A and B are shown apart, each in its own frame.
Chain A
Amino acid sequence: MNDTDGVRSDDAPAGTAKSDAADKVGAGLPEQAGDSATVQTVTINKPRQELYSYFRDFSNLPAFMDNVERIEVKDRQLSHWVVKAPAGATVEWDARVTEDRDGELIAWTSEAGADVPNSGRVEFRDASGGRGTVVSATILYDPPAGVVGKLVAKIFQREPAIQARRDLRRFKQLMETGEIATNAMNPAQAREKEQG
């Protein structure tokens, strides 16, 4: 499926490997940062170009990435990310686009000094059967303070794999329906939920 991934005997994405998933994912990235891997995939009933264009303007991302407090777009390649962490803290990093194919793929890596080193790519492919676009996010990250930090993050639901899955669902909701589903009974409750 991904010709840039390492040598494997099947067609399953590298992020689903039973062992050494992070290494296998990293082998397919221009520049690798982070040693835990997750791959999340969603099919969105919209054309590839439309989804790519919305995503490529990083200032749009906080609309559906609940954990991202803000993104300062410095230029076409560089951006600064401020992201919520467990227990009310935030983590920050500069991200640089390492590969960019119009309507197809965006890859990035965090720059030196990142609180949570990470890298990855988001791919946009035509779905089979005319079902729109398959969007897959492959993310490598160093969880804060190793295994314990990962556990803490998971308890507080700030685990990057869980967040990535939810972010893609919200991206789909926003692109397909124009809004993000919420069970909030009023705007105040909705804001509380967003701030988690």
Chain B
Amino acid sequence: MRALTWHGKHDVRVDTVPDPEIVNPRDAIIKITSTAICGSDLHLYDGYIPTMKAGDILGHEFMGEVVETGPKSTLQKGQRVVVPFTIACGQCFHCGKQQFSACDNSNPADNMDIAQELYGQPFAGLFGYSHMTGGYAGGQAEYVRVPFSDVGPIVIPDGLDDDEVLFLSDILPTGWMGAENADIEPGDTVAVWGCGPVGLFAVQSAFLMGAERVIAIDHFPHRLELAKKFGAETINFEESKTYEALMAMTGGIGPDACIDCVGLEAHGLFGDNIIDQIKVSTFLGTDRIHAIRQAILACRKGGRVSMPAVYGGFVDKFPLGAFMEKGLTLKTGQTHVQRYLPGLLNAIAEKKIDTTFLISHRMPLERAADGYKMFHDQQNEATKIVLKPGMVEA
């Protein structure tokens, strides 16, 4: 089959690789119909995530048709499914608590060593996202092997297009959990750093959860426009001073809840970013955390900080004193995708949440390498790129 493979920094290629087959009893094989490039794929593309190997198949946002099932799979051939990027067994203690991204059993035993040493405990396997998280082949391919297919994939009813439901695989539940982790109360003002796909879904989710005002922060005008469409007020950090603007817009109180949807590759010419970046490029290895620093300083006393954004390693100059003195709460984590799927599928079917606005480009899988370059270089226009195997371009 054809698949998008990683070969190094800014080097991804569509190669011919062996077809996946059923290996374990609970497996299913999915024929991919739509798969998206995620902002976190750019962390791999930019070489920020360790434990990648040449030839790894990328992609963790995908959906398709069931073409083969293991004897213990509950799926049936021909069903259309969206597959969560987090792989979860459904039977361990953590899955029992619906903490699916903390699943004990979905990461192969040998791959768990890295996370055990670095993070203290290993966590769930993820599709197409380095060997620390399992080394599973991803879905930017014609076919994918899905382990524990009786637990993860959600069957899509007729009448809903791929474009409407594809983002259930990651970014919609990630934005939703980002808002949920902000413990939003009626009347709250919520600030969202980063208007990429996750940030835009966090904006929508925050309103659905009862926020009175949402303030969205970015520097790409097109992304800020999209946030505005959903009712957010905006701050362009290249034109306005973010902290000062937030204080002025909240009557000097600060936002009740702050959501960091930026992560380890924060943009912008801020002093702390530049220092962080120099450290990364000289292998002193700290993540760039400008957004979360600013969120902690701006957040109102006793407020909540939610961090759906991806971080990989250690940070420098984390404002721990401010965090403590202001009595803030921080919640974070990889998304427990399986927990949110039924509710969010309903919200889509009832037209309460719109996801299709996000897609700026659709292209054949064969052009995936161009897609990565475009998503990387043109972040204003390229809000979301969906790859479709077999698609014929007009």
Contacts and interface: CB of A to CB of B under 8 A. Distances in A.
Contacts of A19: none
A177 B109 contact: no
Contacts of A172: 92, 104-105
A79 interface: no
Residue from A173, A179, A181, A183 having most chain B Cβ neighbours under 10 A: A181
A95 B21 CA distance: 39
Nearest to A64: B109
A174 to B, nearest CB: 9
Interface in B19-56: 19-26
Q: What's the interface size class on A, roughly? A: 20 to 34
Nearest to A46: B91
Contacts of A183: 108, 111, 125, 134-137
A177 B87 CA distance: 13
The secondary-structure label for the interface of chain B is loop
Contacts of B112: 166, 169
Interface in A141-180: 157, 162, 165-167, 169-170, 172-173, 176-180
A176 B111 CA distance: 19
B1 to A, nearest CB: 10
B72 A176 contact: no
B93 A43 contact: yes
Contact of B108 (A132, A165, A182, A186): A182
A159 to B, nearest CB: 11
Contacts of B125: 181, 183
B109 A179 contact: no
Q: What's the interface size class on B, roughly? A: 35 or more
B23 A173 contact: no
A193 to B, nearest CB: 8
Contacts of B89: 173, 176-177, 181
Nearest to A171: B109
A190 interface: yes
Given A177-B26, A185-B21, A131 B105 contact: no
Residue from B18, B91, B96, B135 having most chain A Cβ neighbours under 10 A: B91
15 contacts: A43-B93, A132-B93, A162-B113, A170-B109, A176-B104, A177-B89, A177-B91, A178-B72, A179-B25, A179-B72, A180-B24, A180-B109, A185-B137, A186-B18, A186-B20
Interface of A: 43, 45, 131-132, 157, 162, 165-167, 169-170, 172-173, 176-187, 189-190
